[in-house]
Amino acid sequence: MSHSPRSLLLSLSAFTVLALSAQDKLLRDYDWAVTPTLHTSEKVADAPTTVIRSVTMVDWQDEGDALNEYYLTHQVRHIGAESAIEDNNKVYIALNDVIGIVSKKARVIDPQGKVVTLTDEEFKLAEDEEEHQRYLYFAFNGVQVGSEIEYLIVLKKEPSMRGDREMLQYSSPVVRRELHLITPAHLVLGTKGYNGAPEAVFDSSRTDVRHLTVTATDLKGLKQEHSSSYAANAMQTAYKLDANLARNARDFSSYVNATKMYHGVLYPTVEPKLQKELRKLLKDMDLDAAQDEEDKVRRMEDHLKTRFNIVSVGGMELRDPATIIKNKAMNNVGAMVMTTLLLTEMGMEHQVVVTSDRQNYRFDKDFESYLGLQREFIYFPSFKKYMAPTEVELRVGYIPAEYMDNQGLFIRTVDVGGVRTGIGKVGYIEPLTDDKCIHDIHARVDLASEPGKAVIHMENSLSGYYAQFLQPFYSMLDAENKEKVLDNMVGFLTEDSETKKVDVVDHGSMNFGVKPVVIKVDVTSSKFLEQAGDKTLFKIGDLIGPQMELYADKERTLPVDDDHARRYERVITVTLPKGARIENLGDLKFDRSLVRDGKELLKFHSDYTLEGDVLTVTVVEFYKVCQLPISEFEAYRSVVNAAADFNKVTLVLARS
Beta bridge partners of 654: 581
Q: Are residues 422 and 484 in the same domain?
A: no
CA distances from 446 to 2, 453, 577 (A): 52, 8, 8
Which of 403, 429, 455 represents a domain boundary (last residue)?
429
Q: What pLDDT is attached to residue 361?
A: 98
- How far is 439 from 322, CA to CA, in rounded Å? 42
Q: What pLDDT is attached to residue 315?
A: 85
Q: Are residues 144 and 124 in the same domain?
A: yes
CATH of the domain at 518: 2.60.120.1130
Q: Are residues 392 and 475 in the same domain?
A: no
Q: Are residues 542 and 590 in the same domain?
A: yes
Q: Which pTM does this prediction carry?
A: 0.93
Residue 559 contacts by C-beta under 8 Å, 6 or more apart in sequence?
A: 228, 229, 233, 627, 628, 629, 630, 633
Q: Are residues 616 and 531 in the same domain?
A: yes
Q: Are residues 424 and 461 in the same domain?
A: no
CA distances from 371 to 103, 191, 256, 365, 494 (A): 28, 12, 15, 11, 47
Q: What pLDDT is attached to residue 300?
A: 98
In a domain, 55, yes or no: yes
- How far is 467 from 394, CA to CA, in rounded Å? 9
Q: What pLDDT is attached to residue 45?
A: 57
Q: In terms of DSSP bridges, do strands 90-94 and 133-139 run parallel, antiparallel, or are they unpaired?
A: antiparallel
Q: What pLDDT is attached to residue 14?
A: 55
Q: What pLDDT is attached to residue 2?
A: 46
pLDDT in tens, 237-250: 999 999 999 999 99
Which of 204, 230, 250 represents a domain boundary (last residue)?
250
- How far is 372 from 403, CA to CA, in rounded Å? 10
In a domain, 87, yes or no: yes
In a domain, 1, yes or no: no
Q: Are residues 263 and 384 in the same domain?
A: yes
Q: How many CB atoms are closer than 10 A to CB 15?
A: 16
Q: What pLDDT is attached to residue 7?
A: 47
Q: What pLDDT is attached to residue 43?
A: 63
- How far is 276 from 283, CA to CA, in rounded Å? 11
Residue type, 477: L
pLDDT in tens, 514-541: 999 999 999 999 999 999 999 999 999 9
In a domain, 78, yes or no: yes
Q: What pLDDT is attached to residue 519?
A: 97
- How far is 362 from 650, CA to CA, in rounded Å? 44
Domain that holds residue 492: 440-655
Q: H-type helices in 95-245, by residue range?
A: 230-233
In a domain, 36, yes or no: no
User: Structurally, how many domains does the chain consist of?
Assistant: 3
Q: To the nearest whole percent, how much of the chain has pLDDT over 70? A: 96
- Give me the residues of the chain with pLDDT under 70, please: 1-22, 41-45, 131
CATH of the domain at 103: 2.60.40.3140
CATH of the domain at 319: 3.10.620
